Structure 1
Amino acid sequence: MQNIFKIVGFSIVFFCYQLAYSQVDVVYSDLVWSDEFDNNGAINPSNWHHQTQLPTGGNWYNGEEQHYTNELTNSFVENGVLKIVARKEVYNSQGYTKQYTSARLNSKFAFTYGRVDIRAKIPTNQGTWPALWMLGKNIIEPGGYFSSTHGTTSWPACGEIDIMEHGITSWQPAGYVQSALHTPSSFGSTTNIGGTIANNLGNDFHVYSMNWSPNQITFLLDGVAFYTYNPAVKNAATWPFNLDQYLLLNIAMGGVAGTIPSNFVAATMEVDYVRVYQNVQVDNQIPLNFTAAVGTVTSSSVELLLNATDNSGTVNYNIVYGGNSISAYGNSGVQKSVIIPNLTADTNYTFSISASDATGNNALNNAIVLNATTLGFVGCTGTSSEASQGTFSTGYNYSFETIGSNSVKVTFELLDTDKVGVVAYLWRQSPFAETPMSNVSGNRFTYTLTGQTSGATINYAVKFAYANGMSVTRYFSYVVGNTCTLNQQEFDDFSNFSFTNPSHDFISIASDITIDKVEIFNLIGNKVVTQTENTNQIDVSSLSKGMYLLIVYSEHKKGIKKIIIN
């Protein structure tokens, strides 16, 4: 291949690279390692190592049928292109005779974070498995270039990044190429898989790319992203991708690639270039304008609204609360919404939030500390599957009903069909008490609490005990005397009024009739505002952010609507 074509090709790829800016979180622009395959003959020994040693047992993995060799017939450079050739030939090595040969090349370069571009044309022959991929430099593997000096970790704990592989997804349409990641949490038949269709695969060159940052790994075909791996929790099980990895180029034969046809002779993968980009210039600029605020609050979650700017284009956020931590990232200058899930109802949480960039520069005002109290878990009637202990396969129905003026009838029905021998106990939250419930029918149980105070808030859960286990519902808050009408979104009695929603310090109410009184309740039934004067302008500056119920009275009419205070 002529040098002028390589220059044109580089320009095209660079253009595609720029188009992909919005599809990746970190743009890497400095070329740090490459092989353009300009010299005919044997591969450059300074860049590549032939991995030929068989694994223990005498066979390569996944039922493959080839010997990997360092023969010129299996790997060589010709006219500016690396050619890896899988051949049908009897070959004896290391005491084993096999019917096919190929080549498996290890790069002598390893790196952490960056972008890989490989322009290649791959074979599509039945029974072939061409692959462009990466392994952790710390892998323990016979004959691997780094294994003898850096091998400390077995697969898949070392991590594996498959940039492109073909031939092992026979159920996919023609032209399908796959990218995958293997980690301790998902390996072998991994679920961390993405794929796309390459036009005229087998006849045309395509650019297979992988963009790897501390936040995510994105795979691209010809500059277009098609799959991103970004686990919510990054630890040794899900993210062994914080250490050096090296490149591998090979064609495997048979095994999971299927039966090799009897008339197979040879298949060739051609590689025009391999390029690795990183950001070499030292980044000393810290994230600026870092802000954090509380957004929507529910009984089980808190939304945090985060923002900062950074010259890298990406900001990393670390959130610590109650012995837990969550990492997230957002684009520079764009508000990032992070939902903290699985929280306990009616509980105050403290969140410590820090901002940094990919280099590790920290925002000057780290850490911002925010407090938020989850809403009470409202109980009257409904269905849920949330548990405070154990789990529910389906869930349960619940009902709280005030009888007379000072009794509350509590009814729970277990909907799980996989539980046998079910009995139920009513749990009081504080002070804790456990009371047997009466069985009504099936898995439906009830108990009536007497001597309650009208307007008081009570908190109860139900323990369902059964053969070999138990499951406990969430605690429900209930206001004695509440008919649950406050849980309805809107009444038809009086609906021809409007107001600012969401509202901040004041609620401005517009109506074509006179409003006598306005009340605001929180979602656990507590009245937080009553106003009978100047009813078109309600002061809510003292209320916490969240959702409330606005009740408007006019003579004998009443209307109820939800409102958000922000």
Structure 2
Amino acid sequence: MKTDRLFRFFLILLLSTQYAFSQVDVVYSNLVWSDEFETNGAINSSKWFHQTQLPAGGSWFNGEVQHYTDQLTNAFVNAGLLNIVAKRESYTNQGITKQFTSARLNSKFAFLYGRVDVRAKIPVNQGTWPAIWMLGKNVNEDGAYFDASFGTTDWPACGEIDIMEHGITPSQPTNYIQSALHTPSSFGNTTNIGGTIANNLGNDFHVYSMNWSPFQISFLLDNVIFYTYNPAVKTPSNWPFTAEQYLLLNIAMGGIAGTIPSNFTQTSMEIDYVRVYQNTAVDTQAPTNFTATIGTVTSSTIELLLNGNDASGNVAYTIVYSGGTIPVASPSGVQRSVVVPNLLPNTNYTFSVSASDLAGNAFVSNPIVVNATTTSVLGCSGTDNQAQAATTFSSGYNYAFETLGTDVKITFELLDTNRVGVVAFLWRQSPFSEVQMTNVSGNIFTRTITGQTTGATINYAVKFAYAGGFSVTKYFSYVVGSSCSLGLETSPDLMEFHFPNPTNETIEITSNFPIDKIELYNVLGNKVLFSETTTNKIDVSELPKGIYLIAVYSGTGKRVKKVILN
């Protein structure tokens, strides 16, 4: 059963991995729509629409308790700021009385692809749910601005892009803001979620941004990307974002935002500006200076480094290989790193890469063909149920450590099925630190630590936090650059060996166990020597000087140590 769980663990991790990018893929430069809120009083009715009609049944979704109104007290402009105000007041409309009012604004502008910047200060009061978000112009929602003319598609098939939400993540600290995407393949309690911590959230203004291209949607806080959504294969089910969307600004009350305190009176979201950018210039020139080279190679990934120039300011690339097609883009003249995942170890791959611009003008010498071979796997993994703090584990957890060049990717999966709202934090033992891990799928979380030294021992545990408490795994010691059998934990007392270190011509091993096999790996993870031996001595005279890892096997056991050849 443990083996089956571990297999599912790595299979889910393999299939769920999305391409991770560190930069905005398409830069949008032309301001096409905005509101700077320069005139005091009511909102600009040429740009905004008050959505007040209640859904069927008389209540807004998610258990919310507010009326959205067109009252000046719920939405007004003052001193260069739009104020959306949620307040406690008895209000009757459409034959229904509610005890809270707020405002929900629809932009009268919709667009396909571009960037949105909203500078705002949001409320953090318990029970409030401020949001800056988007819906497909074609959404079938009675009372929405575009519904009468374009409302042909039910939610979530219309697509929803949540640029910023706050107040609906009780497992997170107060300063945590969330972005999410709702699609037919993942809606309601969607798994397409990213979040980050904003400094002094309730008191300071921040810029909340969304950059939407044909290839990916990125979310930024103060111009720093914290989440990118980019399904490897885009379908109407996971990517309905091929049609125009419009903006919404609102504060919801109660429901999944939690209980509203009895002493709550009112709060507001203050918005300095809303700006939408696109690229409007006609582009007729093809890209130039296109290059494609190989970057970092691991056992399961190959990095492609792409660069090119185009007068439009952006270049699109299409990567074709045995595993499929990867379309990406990058600003002109900016090197784009594309990490191709889910590859087999010790396997040669050929990539055919073409460049064009977003208008379809192609590079004159397309394609460029490059090749690379993945390395051997360097890592350790298994299953455990030991806890070092707080609540114990019932089923336990899977763990995996994999060396990727000078980085170590750490992945844990909580197997306990009775936990709700799980988030994970990576604990470093010494000096102690805690950082949040990224959710991959279900209760699988990962974090990559960079700049590690081959042969060094690192010690990490994971805290799983959930509704009502948390559990912490034991600390795991991992030797950077080493491998071990799946689920195998070998006691040093039961399997010990020694050899002269440093050494040069030969490595002669003494051990308290019979040796069946010896392997030697270089710092890149490549196996450079293999010996099934009964002599406990191997010849390393032909190998370059440097640091290596020696793996010694006996039966089902294995142990790895660092060796220096001089």
What's the TM-score, normalizing by structure 1? Answer: 0.59
User: How far did residue 156 of structure 1 move?
Assistant: 1.6
The offset of 1:240, in angstroms, is 2.1
The equivalences for 1:277-316 within 5 A come to 277-291=277-291, 306-311=306-311, 314-316=314-316
Q: Deviations over 1:446-501 (max 9, x none)?
A: xxxxxxxxxxxxxxxxxxxxxxxxxxxxxxxxxxxxx9999963265432224799
Q: Partners in 1 of 2:73 and 2:297 — Cα distance?
A: 66
> Aligned residue for 2:340?
339
2:539 to 471, 494, 517: 494
Deviations 1:186-225 (A, max 9, x none): 2211222222222332222222222222232222222333
Aligned positions of 1:41-440 closer than 5 A:
41-291=41-291, 306-311=306-311, 314-320=314-320, 324-330=324-330, 332=333, 334=335, 336=337, 339=340, 341=342, 353-367=353-367
**Aligned-partner Cα distance in 1 for 2:339–2:319:** 9
Q: Deviations over 1:74-94 (max 9, x none)?
A: 111222221111122222222
- Measure the CA separation in 1 of the matches of 2:295 and 2:78: 60
Cα gap change, 1:373/1:71 in structure 2, threshold over 3 Å: closer, same or farther? closer
> Secondary structure in 1 aligned to 2:169?
coil
Q: What SS does the aligned partner of 1:318 have?
A: strand
Taking structure 1 as reference, are residues 204 and 339 closer, same or farther at Cα in structure 2, changes over 3 Å only? closer
The answer to whether the Cα contact below 8 Å between 1:138 and 1:151 also exists between their aligned partners in 2 is yes
- What is the alpha-carbon root mean square deviation over aligned residues? 3.8
Shift of 1:256: 0.4
CA distance in 1, matches of 2:305, 2:22: 22
Q: Which amino acid aligns with 2:268?
A: T
1:67 aligned partner, one-letter code: H
Deviations 1:150-194 (A, max 9, x none): 222222222211111111112211222222222222221122222
User: In 2, Cα distance between the equivalents of 1:335 and 1:126?
Assistant: 42
In 1: Cα distance, 2:273 partner to 2:100 partner: 26
TM normalised by structure 2 equals: 0.59
Q: Secondary structure of the equivalent of 1:148? A: helix
Aligned residues of 1:135 and 1:247 also touching (Cα < 8 A):
yes
Equivalent position amino acid for 1:158 in 2: C
Counterparts of 2:340 and 2:36, CA distance in 1: 46
- Partner of 1:53, secondary structure, is coil
Give the total of aligned pairs: 379
Alignment CA distance shift 1:363-1:267 (3 Å): same
- Can you give the 5+ residue segments of structure 2 that lack an aligned partner in the other structure? 1-20, 382-397, 399-515, 521-526, 532-536, 547-566
The percent of aligned pairs where both chains have the same amino acid is: 65
The one-letter amino acid paired with 2:178 is: Q
CA–CA distance in 2 between the matches of 1:493 and 1:34? 71
> What CA deviation, in whole Å up to 9, does each residue of 1:290-342 have, x standing for no partner?
35578999999887665533345643222345794332345646374553756
| CA apart distance, 1:373 | 11
Relative distance call for 1:338 and 1:272 in structure 2 (3 A) is closer
User: How many Å apart are 1:143 and its aligned residue?
Assistant: 0.9
Q: Quick check: 1:25–1:313 contact (8 Å CA) kept in 2?
A: no
Residues 268 and 354 (structure 1 numbering): CA distance in 2 closer, same or farther, change over 3 Å? same
Q: Which has the higher contact order (CA 8 A, sep 6+)?
A: 2
Range 290-299 or range 73-82, more displaced: 290-299
Equivalent pair of 2:305/2:335 in contact (CA under 8 Å): no
Measure how far apart 1:43 and its partner are: 0.9
**Native 8 Å contact 2:119 2:208 kept in 1:** yes
Tell me if structure 2 keeps the 8 A contact 1:328–1:338: no
294 and 164 in structure 1: CA distance in 2 versus 1, 3 angstrom threshold: closer
Q: 1:62: Cα distance to partner?
A: 0.6
User: Residue in 2 aligned with 1:510?
Assistant: none
- In 2: Cα distance, 1:302 partner to 1:486 partner: 24
Matched residue type, 2:99: Q
Q: Do the aligned partners of residues 345 and 118 (structure 1) sit closer, same or farther apart at CA in structure 2, a change above 3 Å counting?
A: closer
Query: Helix, strand or coil for the counterpart of 1:110?
Result: strand
CA distance in 1, matches of 2:518, 2:540: 15
Q: Which amino acid aligns with 1:44?
A: N
Work out the CA distance in 2 between the residues paired with 1:274 and 1:362.
Answer: 35
Report deviation, 1:99: 1.5
For residue 22 of structure 1, report the CA deviation from its aligned partner: 7.9
Q: Secondary structure of 2:281's match?
A: coil
Inter-partner Cα distance in structure 1 for 2:203 and 2:303: 50
